[in-house]
Amino acid sequence: MQNITKATLYWSCQLIGWGIYVGLLIYNAITHTTEDDKLPKVIALQVIIGLCVLLTSHAIRIVILRKGWIELGTGALALRILGLTIAGSVLAIAAIHLMMVGLLDWHNTVHPIEWSSIPLYTANLFFMLMFWSVIYVGYKYAESARKNKIEKLETQSSLKEAELIALKAQINPHFLFNSLNNIRALILDQPMIARDMVTNLSDLLRYSIAFSQRAQVTIAEEVDIVKNYLDLESIQYDGRLDYNVDADENTLSCIIPPMIIQTMAENAVKHGISQIKDGGQIRISIQQQDDQLVIAASNTGSLEHSKTGTGIGVKNAQERIRLLFDVSPSFDLTEKDNLVTATLQFPARQ
C-alpha cells in the first residue's frame, strides 16, 4: 500500500508540475501567434514538448534509482546528474524536432525551423530538467535521512527492549526469594556464610540493575559477577553444585553485552543441575580462537533436560550481541559423556 501511495504521489507531482509548464507554454504560444490556422499545431507542439520533458525526467529518475546514485557522495552525484541531464536534454530536443518535421510538418505549414536556435532550446530544456533533478534528489536525500533516523531509533529501542527483557529473565522472584530464605536460615547457625551470601546477592543485584544503562562490559567484569551468582547457587544447592570459571587472560579485556555469560550460567543451573537429584558440575570456559570469542558453559545432565526450557535468556543474549556488534553469533548445544555444553561464538572485540 505504501508503494502505491508513493507512486501515486510521484505521478501526481509529475503531471501537475509539467502540466503547469505546458500550460505556460500554451499561454505564451496563444499570445504570440497571430495566424489562427497555425494555432492548433503550435498548441500541439507545446503538448509534445510537455510529454518529452515528462518522459525524460522520468527516465532520469529511473537511472538514479537503478544505479543507486543517492548513496554516492555529493560531488560524484552532482557530476553524474549533470552528465545525465545534458544527455537527456539533447535527446529530448532531438525527439521534439523529429516530431516537428515528421508529425507536424512544421517546416512547411508553420514556419521554417531555425536550426541555429537549437542550442538555445537545448540550454533552456537543460535548466528545466536540472531544476527538476535538484528537487528530486533533494527529496530523496531527505527521505533517506528520515529513514536512517527511524532505523537508528528502532535499533536503539530494540536494544533497550532486549536488555529489559533479559533483565527480567535473569533476576526473577523465585531466585531472589530462595536466596533470601537461605540467608535467613543461615543467619543464626552460619553467620559468616550468610554474610557472604548477602554480599554476593547485593553485588549481583547491583550489577543486574546497572547493566540496563550500559551497552557493554568486559569479560573480567562479567566473570566476577558470574562467580558471585554461582557462589549463591552453590550454597542454595547445599554442596550439590561444583563449579569452575576459566577465562583465558587475553579474553579479559574483550567486550560483550552485559549478562551474556550470566545467562549461560543460569541456564546451566536451571536446565541442568536443578534437574538432577544429586547435583553436578558446571564448567564455564571463555577462550579466543583466532578472531572469535568462544564462550562455553557445560553442566552435568542430558539434552533431554536442557531442552525443557524456553531458552528466552539465550535468545535475548544472541539478539543483544547482534544489535551491539552487528553480527549474528552462532549457538550450539551438544551432549557428550553426560555433559551438556552450550557454546556461543562471535567476533572478539576489544
CATH number, position 333: 3.30.565.10
Q: Could you tell me if residue 40 is inside a domain?
A: yes
Gap between the Cα atoms of 2 and 98, Å rounded: 39
Specify the DSSP element, H or E, that contains 103: none
Q: Could you tell me if residue 9 is inside a domain?
A: yes
Position 59, amino acid: A
Q: Could you tell me if residue 249 is inside a domain?
A: yes
Residues of the chain above pLDDT 70, percent? 88
8 A C-beta contact, residue 296 and residue 284? yes
Q: Across residues 257-261, what is the average pLDDT?
A: 84
User: If pLDDT is split at 50, 70 and 90, which confidence band does 4 have?
Assistant: low
Do 62 and 114 belong together in one domain? yes
Do 136 and 251 belong together in one domain? no
Strand arrangement of the beta sheet that strand 292-300 belongs to = 241-247, 280-289, 292-300, 339-347, 330-336
Do 178 and 152 belong together in one domain? no
**160, 194, 217: which is the final residue of a domain?**
160
Where is pLDDT greater, at 283 or 167? 283
Do 154 and 177 belong together in one domain? no
8 A C-beta contact, residue 343 and residue 332? yes
**Residues 49-99 pLDDT 10s:** 889 999 999 998 999 888 888 878 888 888 988 998 999 999 998 998 888
Please tell me the predicted confidence (pLDDT) of residue 310.
Answer: 44
Do 149 and 99 belong together in one domain? yes
Please tell me the predicted confidence (pLDDT) of residue 211.
Answer: 63
Q: Across residues 123-127, what is the average pLDDT?
A: 90
**97, 129, 160: which is the final residue of a domain?**
160
Q: Could you tell me if residue 166 is inside a domain?
A: no
Do 150 and 185 belong together in one domain? no
Where is pLDDT greater, at 52 or 157? 52
pTM: 0.50
Gap between the Cα atoms of 341 and 296, Å rounded: 6
Do 191 and 316 belong together in one domain? yes
Please tell me the predicted confidence (pLDDT) of residue 141.
Answer: 81
User: If pLDDT is split at 50, 70 and 90, which confidence band does 284 have?
Assistant: very high
Tell me the pLDDT of the chain averaged across its residues.
81
Long-range contacts made by residues 131-136, C-beta under 8 angstroms, separation at least 24? 132/17, 132/57, 132/60, 133/57, 133/60, 133/81, 133/84, 133/85, 134/81, 136/57, 136/60, 136/61, 136/64
Domain containing 280 equals 171-347
1 pLDDT exceeds 50?
Answer: no
Residues of the chain above pLDDT 90, percent? 10
Q: Across residues 254-271, what is the average pLDDT?
A: 84
Burial, 232: exposed, middle or buried (Cβ in 10 Å; 0-12, 13-18, 19+)? buried
Q: What separation, in Å, do the N-terminal and C-terminal C-alpha atoms of the chain show?
A: 45
Where is pLDDT greater, at 173 or 298? 298
**CA 221 to centroid of chain Cα atoms:** 29
213 pLDDT exceeds 80?
Answer: no
Please tell me the predicted confidence (pLDDT) of residue 38.
Answer: 81
Burial, 184: exposed, middle or buried (Cβ in 10 Å; 0-12, 13-18, 19+)? exposed
**135, 160, 185: which is the final residue of a domain?**
160
Region for 33 from its dihedrals, namely left if φ exceeds 0, alpha if ψ lies in -120 to 50, beta otherwise: beta
Q: Across residues 22-26, what is the average pLDDT?
A: 88
Domain count, the chain: 2
User: If pLDDT is split at 50, 70 and 90, which confidence band does 45 have?
Assistant: confident
Gap between the Cα atoms of 337 and 290, Å rounded: 27
Please tell me the predicted confidence (pLDDT) of residue 238.
Answer: 75
**How do the residues of the chain divide into helix, strand and coil, expressed in percent and rounded to 5?**
70, 15, 15
The 3 state secondary structure assigned to 265-332 is HHHHHHCCHHHCCCCEEEEEEEEEECCEEEEEEEEECCHHHHCCCCCHHHHHHHHHHHHHHCCCCEEE
Do 242 and 141 belong together in one domain? no
Please tell me the predicted confidence (pLDDT) of residue 260.
Answer: 85
User: If pLDDT is split at 50, 70 and 90, which confidence band does 173 have?
Assistant: low
CA angle 338/341/347 to nearest 5° reads: 165
Do 191 and 325 belong together in one domain? yes
Least Cα distance to 16 among 95, 132, 121 occurs for 132
Do 212 and 320 belong together in one domain? yes
8 A C-beta contact, residue 236 and residue 176? no
Q: Across residues 159-177, what is the average pLDDT?
A: 57
Q: Across residues 125-142, what is the average pLDDT?
A: 87
**Residues 288-347 pLDDT 10s:** 988 899 999 988 888 775 554 546 667 777 877 887 777 888 888 888 888 888 899 998
Do 225 and 152 belong together in one domain? no
227 pLDDT exceeds 80?
Answer: yes
8 A C-beta contact, residue 221 and residue 253? no
Do 283 and 201 belong together in one domain? yes
Please tell me the predicted confidence (pLDDT) of residue 285.
Answer: 93
